[in-house]
Structure 1
């Protein structure tokens, strides 16, 4: 790890309907040296995503503080949404940007998870490059059953217990999944306004890697803003380029009797994934490369909310 190393952290919180709560969580992340790059709320998914970056130790501290504030403000027993979740601070991934390796980011994730448990009593599962067990590398395997199911399973099945803390989940904040990974692009595509959720689910099934689709693609079909949507996480855009994903979804939509609407990008993308002339970019309303490309945003971060 070099002295000027930069790491990104993209925590996801199970709250997308109360801007004041999210603002308080984001404010808790204000640590010297940490830059706020992006944050957004999604009411339908009832989820918010925050992107911060900076020196590893400071970014880790910011993430831990955010997990504590989320545990204080979010009650999963009262929370519903279309997005799977097991925790108030649901997923906390660390992403190396420069000057450190993925293995070093994984070590940082392990330290963060331990601090979340010690300070706030929220148990932690490790995933991705930080996974302590092979059956927890994939996020969806950790989150199986969601908060309600995992709350029971962790008490009955030793294989479902947290890696740190537990065995019971936090009564209202659940558990956090902390890990390290490479850049992930969270990309959604709405279908035609007349499309049904069954069509979105069929397209998602056809495209996701776990069903024999495209490598590095995770996808589910959901209803968002009253419309059918294919919601995707692209875990390796080098292996499967974004234009190929877009064209494949368009072809699948045609086969399933519908067509594509606008695209939606959650969080930021690396410059290597950007092409101003690409159709997938042009179909995202009001896409601003100065705001949505991480390398640009590092030089022009957001102001912290008061």
Structure 2
């Protein structure tokens, strides 16, 4: 039964936290999303996936719920994260600014990106009240009226290199506390994370490939943001794959289209992205040695959320491989 027939208006949060080396801590944060303040378990929230990378020291926790319930679940997970992650001692090769680094809200079904933006702004206000020292910058539909993208905001704030906050003015909250850091909260159409490893230790070559596939490049892949990082003795091309509104989708171009509330969105398929990186690596005399999709495609996220909520499976990440392969 679909979410529309269930009467659910679903959204997801891909919560990015600056911790991956303590599995028990990451799972404690994930489980916090499933419980109310009185200790009762949320029957209308599920954690679909936990992806942790030791070298990056970064985890992505996928939380899904009806849009009306999502704020409280995400808020509970964030409060827990701020209690157990200290940015003054955090180390990892992935850029980050906050203990809770990123809170993007994505529509899955029956809800528009504009409403997700309102939910994101509400979450920002509540988070700064619940966590003294927490500071927030807004992006996408939450950033009114400019609607600046996450990429724009990160560049403005020095996300790639900053760890000092003295001159920084957050959108919500006071000047960032050194322990908490700065958190990005926003909303947009769904964004996947897809990482491809090349068999090389040459970071310059990795950066060259990342630059070539970026959507900002005239010959790049629309909707793709990419960076290159040393990873496990090789170079990983880490990609954010954005969904973008597409009123005239073209079939069989390597892009996949889906529809929410009459709006058509498209994104490059992970297979097409991998093929392009493989080709560019081959041109450099290098092979690719692995691909990781961090979580789900938009349709997979929707399907898993519907199933988990229908079956009341809060800790879906523990069972997903036995249900969805």
Taking structure 2 as the reference length, the TM-score comes to 0.78
> Are residue 10 (structure 1) and residue 14 (structure 2) matched?
yes
Q: 1:126 to 1:21 in 2, by over 3 A?
A: same
C-alpha contact (below 8 Å) 2:108/2:298 kept by paired residues:
no
Q: Which has the higher strand share?
A: 2
Partner in structure 1 of residue 72 of structure 2:
61
Q: Does 1:20 align with 2:24?
A: yes
DSSP 3-state at the match of 1:206: helix
Offset, 1:190: 0.8
The farther-off stretch of 136-145 and 9-18 is 136-145
**Structure 1 counterpart of 2:274, from 246, 263, 267:** 246
Q: Distance in 2 between matches of 1:305 and 1:189?
A: 23
Match of 2:287 in 1: 259
Q: Which residue of 2 aligns with 1:163?
A: 171
Q: Describe the shift of the 1:240–1:27 C-alpha distance in structure 2 as closer, same or farther (beyond 3 A).
A: closer
Structure 1 outlier segments of 4+, above 4 Å = none
More helix by share: 1
TM-score computed with the length of structure 1 as normaliser:
0.83
Displacement after TM superposition at 1:195 (Å): 4.4
1:110 to 87, 110, 121: 121
In structure 2, do the counterparts of structure 1 residues 209 and 150 end up closer, same or farther at CA, with 3 Å as the change threshold?
farther
Matches within 5 A, 1:107-256: 107-121=118-132, 122-132=134-144, 134=146, 136-139=148-151, 141-142=153-154, 144-146=157-159, 149=162, 151-152=164-165, 155-156=166-167, 160-166=168-174, 168-192=175-199, 194-212=200-218, 213-236=220-243, 238-256=266-284
- Are 2:43 and 1:35 aligned? no
Structure 2: where are the runs of 5+ without partners? 36-41, 244-254, 256-265, 319-325
Root-mean-square deviation (CA, aligned residues, Å) is 2.4
Structure 1 segments unaligned to the other structure (5+ residues):
272-291
**Paired residue secondary structure (1:246):** helix
